């Protein structure tokens, strides 16, 4: 199984060396690693080029300069950089992985995900659970997702699955749209525990360019996916216990409602309908658990 890994990054000089060290320490490195600089101004491109010069499986690429964007994640620029690199890769591959440059992989991350894909022909997309440090003392907490969701930071696509779901909109929320399309076509998507524990996400989730902007971005993503208003409300309340407190709830709802008011791009209608049905099913199931006698 030939694995092509693509890593789009922008101004990650603080964390990129740690990520690259974890790639070099893999018991099963990727057959080809494309390090895609998306316009860095902090020397990240030089870090990637130095790594590529010392590791034959790695290639450093730079995208053509573009005008700066207010929020590159809201316009899925990291996905566009991934697609740009994939279109220019002319070697054969069986699995393509999108990895973020702000991770520290555990040594058998790639080997374990290859094992999972190799052992299950219906597994179209796989990834690992991720943890973040919650205290300066080194305590870690897992980012909570359901097992069928795969973090955008560790997406491993089987080639046939990728060819069936692509293209999909390069907009916010893409990293849920892709797996919903895969599931609708009969593929399984799943996150797995890694043998040495979770890879580490090196910055708090949704904090790129600030927590407040990240929360508004998440709310806009809920609109793009067609989330049911009841689910939006219930999910927003979870942010009250986060770093922004009650303001986090408001930022999330402002992001959702603002995207609706400006009629931001959305997922295809069939994907939105599928997401709403699944959200309502999960809400009903949890409600039944709350009211059922113990």
Task: List the pLDDT tens digit at each of the 294 positions of the chain.
Answer: 999 999 999 999 999 999 999 999 999 999 999 999 999 999 999 999 999 999 999 999 999 876 666 555 557 899 999 999 999 999 999 999 999 999 999 999 999 999 999 999 999 999 999 999 886 667 889 998 888 999 999 999 999 999 999 988 888 899 999 999 999 999 999 999 999 999 999 987 655 557 888 899 899 999 999 999 999 999 999 888 887 888 999 999 999 999 999 999 999 999 999 999 999 998 999 888 887 765
Task: Tell if the pTM clears 0.75, that is, is over it.
Answer: yes
pLDDT at 205: 64
pLDDT at 203: 82
Contact 102, 17 (CB under 8 A): no
- 125 beta partners: 157, 189
Mapped onto helix, strand or coil, the DSSP state of residue 241 is helix
Strands 140-142 and 131-133, by their bridges, are antiparallel
Give the chain's end-to-end CA distance (angstroms, integer). 49
Which residues in 226-259 are b (16+ Cβ under 10 Å) and which e? Answer: bbbeebbeebbeebeebebeeebbbbbbbbbeeb
- Where are the chain's structural domains? 3-201, 211-291
- State how far the Cα of 256 lies from the Cα of 217, in Å rounded to an integer: 8
Q: Which tokens belong to 248? A: 């986090």
7 Cβ contact list (under 8 Å, min separation 6): 19, 33, 34, 35, 36, 98, 99, 100, 101
CATH assignment, 3-201: 3.90.550.10
- State how far the Cα of 159 lies from the Cα of 118, in Å rounded to an integer: 12
pLDDT at 291: 79
pLDDT at 204: 73
pLDDT at 195: 94
pLDDT at 188: 97
The tally of CA atoms less than 13 A away on the side-chain side of residue 22 is 22
Q: Closest Cα partner for 121 from 187, 165, 194?
A: 187
């Amino acid at each position: 199984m030939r694995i092509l890994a693509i890593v789009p990054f922008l101004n990650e000089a603080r964390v990129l060396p740690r990520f690259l060290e974890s790639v070099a320490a893999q018991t099963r490195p990727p057959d080809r690693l494309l390090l895609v600089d998306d316009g860095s101004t902090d020397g990240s491109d030089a870090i990637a080029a130095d790594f590529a010069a010392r590791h034959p499986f790695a290639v450093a690429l730079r995208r053509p300069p573009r005008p700066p964007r207010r929020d590159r994640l809201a316009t899925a620029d990291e996905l566009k950089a991934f697609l740009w690199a994939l279109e220019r890769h002319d070697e054969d591959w069986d699995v393509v992985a999108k990895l973020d440059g702000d991770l520290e992989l555990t040594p058998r991350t790639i080997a374990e995900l290859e094992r999972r894909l190799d052992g299950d022909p219906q597994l179209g997309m796989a990834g690992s659970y991720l943890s973040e440090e919650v205290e300066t003392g080194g305590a870690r907490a897992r980012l909570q997702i359901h097992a069928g969701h795969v973090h955008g930071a560790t997406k491993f696509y089987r080639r046939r699955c990728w060819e069936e779901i692509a293209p999909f909109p390069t907009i916010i929320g893409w990293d849920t749209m892709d797996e919903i399309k895969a599931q609708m076509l009969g593929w399984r998507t799943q996150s797995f525990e890694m043998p040495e524990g979770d890879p580490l996400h090196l910055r708090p989730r949704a904090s790129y360019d600030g927590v407040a902007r990240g929360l508004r971005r998440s709310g806009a993503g809920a609109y793009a996916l067609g989330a049911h208003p009841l689910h939006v409300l219930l999910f927003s309340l979870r942010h009250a216990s986060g770093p922004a407190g009650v303001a986090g709830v408001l930022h999330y709802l402002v992001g959702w409602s603002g995207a609706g008011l400006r009629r931001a791009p959305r997922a295809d209608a069939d994907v939105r309908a599928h997401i709403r049905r699944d959200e309502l099913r999960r809400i009903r199931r949890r409600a039944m658990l709350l009211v059922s006698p113990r």
